[in-house]
Amino acid sequence: MSVHAAPAPPLDAPAHRSARLEAQIARDPGAYRILTGDRPTGPLHIGHLLGTLENRVRLQELGVELLVLVADYQVLTDRASARRLPEDVLGQVADYAAAGIDPERATIFAHSQVEAVGQLMVPFLSLVSVAEVARNPTVKEEVTASGGAATSALMLTYPVHQAADILAFRANLVPVGRDQLPHLELTRTIARRFTERYGTLFPEPEALLSAAPRLLGLDGARKMGKSAGNAIALRGSADETARLIRRAKTDAERRITFEPERRPEVSNLVLLAALCRDQAPEAVAQEVGDGGASALKALVTEAVNARLAPLRARRAELVRDPAHLRAVLLEGNERARARAADTLVAVRRLMHTTY
Ligand code: TRP
């Protein structure tokens, strides 16, 4: 990503570690195996593309092995009905493939289809305390939000399930957003304790933070998300995209500038266009100048639709052949099952549960 003009913020420890990791990956891509994924709660959007999907494709092109999971079981933690899952899961597979995750090289699968992931939960749950899972920020938020009583026991074990996702494939690299760092810390803890108690099998996976700056939704207030109604879906049409951007919030100042603190809504639109055009946000703001919100929106619409056009064309092609799309997932599931089963055999051997 070439957003150069803004002064770089000072790097904190996880960002430092990620920068060092990037250098190591470039030197020896074959030494890394990535496991990452998304919960299928609806169409992936441009925030996913710019924040993580393009990063995955970049790593795939560098020659890193890539496993991408559709976290369909995680949907159970925050949604009562799973009726829409088949549609959402296949839609997500289409989004992945259209974005450039190549099913020939990468393994795209649904974690509910890999029995060994569930099996690993048993020893892994024995390696963490109730207090440790309860202080996971995501879990804590859920418990607080629902007053505790409505929180399922599955919610409490969710970070451990995610550890099983990662360790089942002995992945050593997990590209994630900052909100996922506590999950990764717990995964490392589980790997370390397993090693201490039973022997060497699991690497301690590293988090890899994306360098992309944080994009907000079209309201300029919250994270981009489907439920917030502020997201540009990858699968949307050019017209839908134009309509969404036309409705985006701006402010009353005519001159367009990039000032994220003082003008979050306008600056977020400027950033969106800048990311889509691989330009600095300041250059985009200057180009619009005194054109006001309507000129800004026209430019953003053009930039987003141009960036998404090839992906959307590929996606349209893919969904024309649902049988192929399904075959991609089934092959991925099969490959993932074989890999995770190997891990389970090794786990049983180390735990003396082989008879
Ligand atoms: N928790 C992640 C999310 O909400 C999805 C996820 C599930 C995941 N298992 C994972 C991410 C393993 C990375 C590694 O988006």
Cβ 52 under 6 angstroms from ligand 1: no
Pocket probe mutation, ligand 1, options 76, 165, 190, max atoms within 8 Å of Cβ? 165
How far away, in angstroms, is 162 Cα from ligand 1 center?
Answer: 6
> Hey, what long-range contacts does 345-352 have (CB within 8 A, 24 or more apart)?
346/201, 347/120, 347/123, 347/198, 347/201, 350/198, 350/199, 350/201, 351/123, 351/198
How far away, in angstroms, is 5 Cα from ligand 1 center?
Answer: 32
- pLDDT for the residue 177: 86
Cβ 166 under 6 angstroms from ligand 1: yes
pTM here is: 0.94
pLDDT band at residue 281 under the 50/70/90 scheme: very high
Most confident of 72-81, 170-179, 183-192, 212-221: 183-192
**Residues 315 and 94 sit within 8 Å (Cβ to Cβ):** yes
How far away, in angstroms, is 39 Cα from ligand 1 center?
Answer: 7
- pLDDT for the residue 308: 98
Residue 12 pLDDT more than 90?
no
Tokens of 354: 């082989």
Nearest CA to ligand 1 atom 8: 37
Best CA proximity match to 297, nearest among 258, 256, 260: 256
Pocket probe mutation, ligand 1, options 158, 183, 223, max atoms within 8 Å of Cβ? 183
Condensed to tens digits (0 to 9), the pLDDT of residues 97-109 reads 999 999 999 999 9
- pLDDT for the residue 75: 86
Helix (H, G, I), strand (E, B) or coil at 67: strand
Residues 295-320: what's their mean pLDDT?
98
Range with the lowest mean pLDDT among 4-8, 60-64, 125-129? Answer: 4-8
Residues 207-217: what's their mean pLDDT?
89
- pLDDT for the residue 8: 59
| Residues composing the chain | 355
pLDDT band at residue 1 under the 50/70/90 scheme: very low
Pocket probe mutation, ligand 1, options 33, 34, 36, 59, max atoms within 8 Å of Cβ? 36
Higher pLDDT, 70 or 83: 70
- pLDDT for the residue 153: 87
- pLDDT for the residue 3: 47
- pLDDT for the residue 211: 82
Percentage of residues in the chain with pLDDT exceeding 90?
A: 81
How far away, in angstroms, is 305 Cα from ligand 1 center?
Answer: 28
- pLDDT for the residue 80: 63
Condensed to tens digits (0 to 9), the pLDDT of residues 317-334 reads 999 999 999 999 999 999
Phi, psi dihedral angles at 6 (to 5 degrees): -70, 140
Condensed to tens digits (0 to 9), the pLDDT of residues 143-174 reads 888 776 778 888 899 999 999 999 999 999 99
On average, the pLDDT of the chain sits at: 93
- pLDDT for the residue 226: 75
pLDDT band at residue 79 under the 50/70/90 scheme: low
Cβ 301 under 6 angstroms from ligand 1: no
Residue 123 pLDDT more than 90?
yes
Range with the lowest mean pLDDT among 84-93, 184-193, 221-230, 280-289? Answer: 221-230
Cβ 114 under 6 angstroms from ligand 1: no
CA distance linking residue 104 with residue 174, whole number of Å? 20
CA distance linking residue 94 with residue 325, whole number of Å? 7
